[in-house]
Structure 1
Amino acid sequence: MNTHNLIVGISGASGALYGIRLLEACRDLGVQTHLVISKAGEMTLHHETGLAVSDVRALATKSYKIADIGAAIASGSFRNAGMVIAPCSIRSMSEIATGVTSNLMTRAADVALKERRRLVLMVRESPLHSGHLATMKTLSDLGAIIAPPVPAFYTHPTSLDDMVNHTVGRTLDLLAIENNLAERWDGLKNARTRSQENDGGRD
């Protein structure tokens, strides 16, 4: 699976670091990435990370403009392992759910659904009202995977990187892309043993 193409979208929701780390991980794993960033995504990305959009685009194998609806990834004939939108805004999520898409990102996501490919949406919003939840159910019924970037604390993260890496690793798991970013749960007893070892054996 690691030799396949993966489509990556970065929308304007908070959490651009997830998309960046996903691109870095795919590069390290030898997975070719096809990136599209929304206009709002470009603004949020720069605000949250201080990185230039060009630096993030350079992490991808190929990058597309958001208005380029004639791009290869807009067609079902483009072979790929699936698509991840990290993070996914409520607006992007809603467009995908209705099938009324206005840009390359949401069009590519719609194509993933119609071709029965994996579509993972890292929806980033809280709290959620009933309309948001209903839209998520619609997408789930259509075959999308709703995977909010919720941190896992059973791994005892010690940094923001730990939390981001775990979430990205679990996202790659959903696409059957082998990685070692996510710590694997091997039982409570073993987890307690590791915790005691890290604490110097203290109770």
Structure 2
Amino acid sequence: MAWFYPKSIGSKLILNLDQYLLEKTMKKQLKIWTLHSLIVLPILVFTLTTSQPSLSASPLPIYKVYGPCDTSVNGEDEKDRELAGWICEMYMNAMFESYYYHFNFTHWAQNEKKDRELVEMADLYNPFGCDVRELTSDEFVDLFLDYMSGRVDEMEDSFFNTIHYITKPYCRQLKNSKVEFYLEEDRYKSKS
């Protein structure tokens, strides 16, 4: 079916159709620009103007971990304990994640028969003092709170650098429970 318009009306319709499509395209483009300027641009500016978490100016102080962990165990309000428990759990997960990274690197280096000095350095660098794979998060929090009781002057110290001191009782207990430790000790006693 063909549409027949008088020549004068048809050209006006075509011009109006072109103009209509142009206006529609311009409105769509304007909406896209508005969306970008109101949403995307502020996000971009915000990310460029704020400091990145990976570029921390100082190590994590103990008080930032102690506060939530203490509240999660000793808090009076249920909601406070729940929120503090969640924050404390995030810190514990990050700490244990760093341990597993260290453990897996050391284990890989030993299995691949890499440089012995590298393995010894990794063992020496271990900030945990011993194998803490059997230590639960709740047990670590208890050790942490016990260690920090009466040590208010150390609250500004680095949490990560303090982990070795926190795990000392656990490592001592772990070492004393191993049979090899007593055999080694008996062997040295008999020689002297």
| TM-score (normalizing by structure 2) | 0.23
| TM-score (normalizing by structure 1) | 0.22
The structure number with the bigger radius of gyration is 2
